[in-house]
Amino acid sequence: MTVNELKHLLEQMADDGLGDREVLFAYQQHYPLQDHIAGGWIPGPADDEDEDDDSDDQVVYLVSGGQVYDQPYGPSRAFGEAVESL
């Protein structure tokens, strides 16, 4: 999914009246968990100190803000019902 595709999907959700909802990240289809989203990161040139940095300069990253501790398990049906656009 590209930044523009994600933006379009989120705009469609906002247009459907969902713009004030919290966004969580669901992962691991067979043992579903969910995380908060802390923000985004755009890789830049690596410093000499970042020799183990395997980041791809052709992508952007959504960064995990940690697990949702009061409800760590994500909805398993999200994986079957997820859409790339509305």
Per residue, what are the HEC states of 54-82? Answer: CCCCCCCEEEEEEECCCCCECCCHHHHHC
- 5-60 pLDDT, tens digit each: 999 999 999 999 999 999 999 999 999 999 999 999 998 877 656 666 677 778 99
85 pLDDT above the threshold of 70: no
Report the domain count for the chain.
1
Q: Supply the range of the domain harboring residue 74.
A: 3-45+54-81
- The SS3 call for residue 29 is coil
Q: Specify if 41 maps to a domain.
A: yes
What was the pLDDT predicted at 45?
Answer: 78
Q: Which helix (H) or strand (E) holds 34?
A: strand 33-41
Range with lowest mean pLDDT among 35-39, 63-67, 79-83: 79-83
Q: Is residue 69 part of a domain?
A: yes
Q: Whole-model pTM? A: 0.77
